[in-house]
Amino acid sequence: MSVRVRMAPSPTGFLHIGGVRTFLFNWLFARSYSGECLLRIENTDTGREVAESVEQIERSLRWLGIEWDGETRFQLDGAERCRTEAARLVAEGRAYEDDGAIRIRMPEEGVVGWDDAVKGRIEFPADQLEDMVILRSDGRPVYNFASPVDDWVDGITHVIRGDDHVSNTPKQIVVLRALGADLPVYAHAPNVFGEDGKKLSKRHGAVSVGEFREAGYIAPALMNFLALLGWAPDGETTIMSRDELAERFTLEKVGSSPATFDYAKLDWMNGLYLRALDAGAYADTLVTFLREQGSTWNEARVREAAPAVQEKIGRLGEFAGFAGFLFEDVDPDLTLLDGGVLTEAASQLATVEPWDAATIERALKALCERLEAKPKTVYLPIRVAVTGSRISPGLYESLELLGRDVTLARLRQGADGAA
């Protein structure tokens, strides 16, 4: 069977991550059948905002790695066809004019139902359905008419969409039947919630693809995480490449209850993907990310620092806070400093040769013995004085990267500040 699905975003300016999850299901489904996946913008008007939104949407999908076949389509492009079909329905007595608008007749009795690929059989009593306006009095088609007409014209075989469309489905089925069209298979995936069980929104954190990208999540990790929101191949597997996702995805395995977006798990998974990158790829990814952020930090130095942060941070966006001390002055918390320790450390490190992590390690361990103090009490003030934070890459590597001059200067400055 040849399969064709469509992703149908509204041109609202940004791609909501919950919607993207549903698009991902479409794409994975199409790929698993070697079918086609279209991108159709559900626009009711044109204009510059729409064009900009479309560009945003396309960029977000591309970044994530979700592709579509052919040109991006627009709901409005089908308006003329909608008008002729509406006229036909009127001529056939399946629709009628009402105050200038066109209404389609709903069945008088019985039920309108379908076998949903994820939810099973769903039926609506016909008496719940009112004759629906399909063409406004100004001639513009209404969503519940335009959408099925487009699906029909585009030869869509499977409509995979959010839960919130369930109650639109009987209306669209009536339209399709009146048109004489074959019905697509419907699959309604549950929506994605925020941590409070409400619709995912800004106050939960990042919601648009762009925001996740800016926070330093990488596409393969985000895709993997999204795929697992409402779908699971089995009870064990959690880490899957896009190819593996596409290979294993089936509608039958899509769950019917809504999922909550778990940012902590995403962070874990992103860190996992980041750590799995080889050193070169990691550095490239980091450099690209920083450049997109508008960073002016020296690229060669970023690359030098990359290995030291790779095993530590879960999001690229953490780099600035984690390794910023290599590029900018620090402002340590004076209460965490220890003048005595810092003075000793400065003199101990002044003669270290060569200035590398291994030698620095020996010197600092010797310092601990000489001071008869635990590494913990010695390293903390050093770390704070030099990096400005109690959290940083490994101490030895940090000092090596920083260089002797700056290290000594910060140690002495810290010793003075400690008072």
Partner RNA sequence: GCCCCCAUCGACUAGCGGCCUAGGUCACCACCCUUUCAAGGUGGCUGCACGGGUUCGAAUCCCGUUGGGGGUACCA
Give the footprint of RNA on residues 349-368 (CB under 7 A): 357, 361
Of 301 and 362, which CB lies nearer to RNA in the complex structure? 362
Q: Mapping DSSP to helix (H, G, I), strand (E, B) and coil, where does residue 36 land?
A: strand
* Dihedral pair phi/psi, residue 94, rounded to 5°: -90, -10
Write the interaction track for RNA spanning residues 204-243; mark x where CB under 7 A is met and - where it is not: ------------------------xxxxx-xxx-x-----
Q: Binding segment for RNA among 196-204, 216-224, 332-340, 404-412 (CB under 7 A)?
A: 196-204
Q: Cα-flanking dihedrals φ and ψ of residue 7, to 5°?
A: -105, 130
Q: Which helix (H) or strand (E) holds 191?
A: none
Q: Is 25 in the site for RNA (CB under 7 A)?
A: no
Rounded to whole angstroms, the Cα distance separating 48 from 52 reads 6
The answer to whether residues 371 and 416 touch, using CB atoms and an 8 Å cutoff, is no
Q: Does 83 bind RNA (CB under 7 A)?
A: no
Structure tokens at 383: 């770390």
The reply to whether 372 sits near RNA by the rule CB under 7 A is no
Tokens standing for 131?
A: 């004759």
Count of positions on this chain that bind RNA (CB under 7 A) = 81
Helical residues (DSSP H) of 10-128, grouped into ranges? 17-32, 48-64, 79-91
Cβ nearer to RNA, comparing 291 with 377: 377
Q: Assess contact for 105 and 131: CB atoms under 8 A.
A: yes
Binding to RNA in span 392-411, by CB under 7 A? 392-397
Among 22, 43, 157, 208, binds RNA (CB under 7 A): 43
Q: How far apart, in whole angstroms, are the C-alpha atoms of residue 267 and residue 269?
A: 5
Q: Which is nearer to RNA, 63 or 143 (CB)?
A: 143
* Residue 251 in tokens: 């509608």
We find the least distance from the C-beta atom of residue 296 to RNA, in angstroms, to be: 26
Pattern of binders to RNA over 243-282, x per CB under 7 A? ---------xx-xxxxxx-x-xx-xx--xx--x-------
Q: 294-323: which residues touch RNA (CB under 7 A)?
A: 311-314
Residue 107: name the closest of 94, 97, 96, 116 by CA.
94
Q: Does 124 bind RNA (CB under 7 A)?
A: yes
Q: Does 101 contact RNA by CB under 7 A? A: yes
Give me the least distance between CB of 402 and RNA, in Å please: 14
Q: Is 293 in the site for RNA (CB under 7 A)?
A: no
370 near RNA, judged by CB under 7 A: no
CB of 196 to RNA, least distance (A): 9
Peptide bond into 354 cis (omega under 30): yes
Distance between CA atoms of 184 and 169, rounded to whole angstroms?
11
Would you say 239 or 334 has its CB closer to RNA? Answer: 239
One of 166, 183, 185, 336 touching RNA (CB under 7 A): 166
Residues 6+ apart with CB under 8 A from 182: 176
For 196, the 3-state DSSP assignment is: coil
For residue 290, CA distances in Å to 223, 306, 315, 322, 325 come to 21, 12, 12, 13, 15
Residue type at 179 in one-letter notation: L
Give the nearest distance from C-beta 30 to RNA in angstroms: 21
Query: Cβ closer to RNA: 33 or 322?
Result: 322
Closest approach, Cβ 129 to RNA, in A, equals: 9
Which of 3, 10, 176, 409 contacts RNA by CB under 7 A? Answer: 10
Asked if 84 is part of the footprint of RNA (rule: CB under 7 A), the reply reads: no
Cβ of residue 364: shortest distance to RNA, in angstroms? 8
Is the bond preceding residue 381 a cis peptide, omega within 30 degrees? no
143 counts as binding RNA under rule CB under 7 A: yes
- What is the bridge-based pairing of β-strands 259-260 and 192-193? parallel
